[in-house]
Amino acid sequence: MKIEELEADLKNKELHSLYLLYGEETFLLETSLKKIKSNFGELVKGINYILLDETNIQNIISDIETVSFGYEKKLIIAKNTNLFKKSKKTISKDGSFETKLADYINENMEIINNSIVLVFVEEAVEKNKLLDTIEKNGVVCNFEELKPAQIIKRLKAICNAYKVNVTEQDLQLLVEYCGTNMQDLINEIRKLIEYAGEGGTIEKNAIEKLSIKKIDAVIFDLTDNLGKKDTQKAMEVLDGLIYNKEPVQKILITLYNHFKKLYISKLSEKYGRNLAEVMNLKPNQMFLTTKYKKQSEYFKETELRKILEELINLDKNYKIGQIDLNIGLKSILCNYCSK
């Protein structure tokens, strides 16, 4: 089942008896889990509401069979149990617990349908008999990270709900600044909605001034200024990162990784390779290929290789106490701009 289909079911207060929710988009996953609990109704922990994890998952069958006195149904949430990881099998005397549980669910779905709502929540899953069983008898939903177009659609809907105008182009800018984590983006869009007010419009300058940029987005700005040989602005961006208490070591690593991607972009174009495949980009990161290609045009292949070598040497000399990291970074950047 797709995320949107699950959300539609929950909006209509439709509850299934068996779920497996997993994936990287934890904000939407947790939102759906809260909706399941809300739709279920009154929860009394230990009576009609049971929480399980890796430490007590062996109790799940007895919890299913125990009557929830005074309540028609029982909600059982089994979170981070590792039952769906091949590398972490839970072995009982008569074989794997995963297989035993899968067999039990298959044989007792009538009981589960009548008296239980069972929800498994995992970070990731691997194919096994228990997964097959849930796919056959219940709902499996992969909360994979959303693509920018999907994110923009959701953010646009939130703005419409508050009667605030915004263009898709400006929402794309917000995603580029703040990343694709929905929790971060929800926080940012709410702040911008408050600033614009009902009937107002979220403008580009408001996004630039009010949104909290991820360090990767700031490094793009810094590199743009380097490519344009604008030493002053490049230093202002670097000083801004340091002022906002970003660790200098983290700045160095992020800067190195960024220039490495620009170098890879240059080589991919030179040898006719697919940049997204070479970088192993996720579907929600595809928009970065255009940015990397465009920014790599500022630099020659030899320049990028030289900058990477200097950043590696800076890291080595810093670790043996020969240079201050902040001074070393500024020296490399100023040296490039002066060429």
What CATH number corresponds to the domain at position 206?
A: 1.10.8.60
Domain boundary, last residue among 142, 159, 184: 142
106 and 175 both lie in a single domain: no
pLDDT at 92: 47
Q: By mean pLDDT, which of 71-85, 87-101, 105-119 is the weakest? A: 87-101
165 and 63 both lie in a single domain: no
Sheet of strand 139-142: strand arrangement: 49-52, 74-79, 116-122, 18-22, 139-142
133 and 157 both lie in a single domain: no
Q: Which single residue is written with the structure tokens 């992020």?
A: 254
198 and 239 both lie in a single domain: no
Q: By mean pLDDT, which of 63-77, 181-195, 239-253, 271-285 is the weakest? A: 271-285
100 and 182 both lie in a single domain: no
Rounded Cα distance between 313 and 318, Å, is 8
171 and 291 both lie in a single domain: no
220 and 260 both lie in a single domain: yes
DSSP 290-321: HHHHHHHTTS-HHHHHHHHHHHHHHHHHHHTT
| pLDDT greater than 60 at residue 91 | no
135 and 11 both lie in a single domain: yes
305 and 252 both lie in a single domain: yes
- Cα distances (angstroms) measured from residue 134 to each of 5, 170, 206, 313: 17, 41, 46, 53
**pTM: predicted TM-score of the whole model, two decimal places:** 0.74
| pLDDT greater than 90 at residue 106 | yes
122 and 7 both lie in a single domain: yes
DSSP 119-166: EEEES-----HHHHHHHHHSEEEE-PPPPHHHHHHHHHHHHHHTT-B-
pLDDT at 225: 87
In this predicted model, what pLDDT tens digit does every residue of 187-246 receive, in sequence order?
Answer: 999 999 999 999 999 999 999 999 988 888 888 888 888 888 888 888 988 888 888 888
| pLDDT greater than 70 at residue 313 | yes
pLDDT at 173: 92
Per-residue buried b or exposed e for 282-295, using 16+ beta carbons within 10 Å of the residue's own CB? eebbeebbebbeeb
Say whether 1 sits in a helix, a strand or coil.
coil
Q: Which single residue is written with the structure tokens 């609990």?
A: 37
pLDDT at 63: 93
CATH number of the domain bearing residue 113: 3.40.50.300
Domain boundary, last residue among 179, 195, 210: 210
| pLDDT greater than 60 at residue 7 | yes
Long-range contacts of 239-243 (CB under 8 A, 24+ apart): 241/215, 242/326
260 and 310 both lie in a single domain: yes
Range of the domain at 27: 3-142
In this predicted model, what pLDDT tens digit does every residue of 121-177 receive, in sequence order?
Answer: 999 899 899 999 999 999 999 998 888 889 999 999 999 999 999 999 999 999 989
Rounded Cα distance between 95 and 214, Å, is 47
pLDDT at 174: 94
| pLDDT greater than 80 at residue 94 | no
Q: What is the largest CA-CA distance in the chain?
A: 79
| pLDDT greater than 70 at residue 265 | yes
Domain boundary, last residue among 210, 234, 263: 210
In this predicted model, what pLDDT tens digit does every residue of 19-29 receive, in sequence order?
Answer: 999 998 999 99
197 and 296 both lie in a single domain: no
Domain count, the chain: 3
